[in-house]
């Protein structure tokens, strides 16, 4: 994972993390068919290795197709990011699969 736009000072403090998980409507394209709890678990394991001591502040979880842009949790996450620097309640977003953000 690359953290873009963060200074070393920002990285030295405890990172506030948001995890975004969702179901995949195209199960044929997802051979693992990883459940939402398993996606969260894998994200947390990765975070503990990559950023020990980080704090998971939010878990955004959608139960509808990723083909829709009006996913409620995705929209809440985007709204939080639009609050701007210093106002957003998290520093980074972690996803099980980068396709979940498209």
Per the domain annotation, does 81 fall within a domain? yes
Could you read off the pLDDT of 43-85 as tens digits, one per residue?
999 999 999 999 999 999 998 877 777 899 999 999 999 998 7
- CB count in 10 Å sphere of residue 23: 18
Query: pTM (2 decimals)?
Result: 0.78
Per the domain annotation, does 39 fall within a domain? no
Per the domain annotation, does 42 fall within a domain? no
Per the domain annotation, does 4 fall within a domain? no
92 against 101, higher pLDDT:
92
Per the domain annotation, does 93 fall within a domain? yes
Per the domain annotation, does 73 fall within a domain? yes
| Count of domains forming the chain | 1
Predicted confidence at residue 33, as pLDDT, reads 74
Query: Which pair of tokens denotes residue 5?
Result: 């736009």
Per the domain annotation, does 98 fall within a domain? yes
Domain with 70 in it: 66-102
Q: Are strands 55-62 and 92-95 parallel, antiparallel or unpaired?
A: unpaired
Cβ contact 80:73 at 8 Å: no
User: Taking Cα atoms as reference points, which of 102, 58, 42, 101 lies closest to residue 34?
Assistant: 42
Per the domain annotation, does 91 fall within a domain? yes
């Amino acid at each position: 994972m690359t953290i873009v736009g963060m200074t070393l000072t920002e990285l030295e403090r405890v990172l506030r993390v948001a995890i975004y998980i969702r179901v995949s409507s195209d199960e044929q394209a997802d051979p693992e068919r990883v459940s939402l709890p398993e996606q969260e678990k894998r994200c947390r394991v990765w975070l503990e290795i990559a950023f020990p001591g980080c704090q998971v502040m939010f878990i955004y979880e959608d139960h509808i197709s990723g083909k829709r842009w009006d996913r409620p949790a995705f929209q809440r996450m985007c709204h939080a990011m639009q609050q701007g620097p210093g106002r957003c309640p998290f520093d980074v977003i972690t996803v099980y699969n980068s396709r979940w953000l498209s």
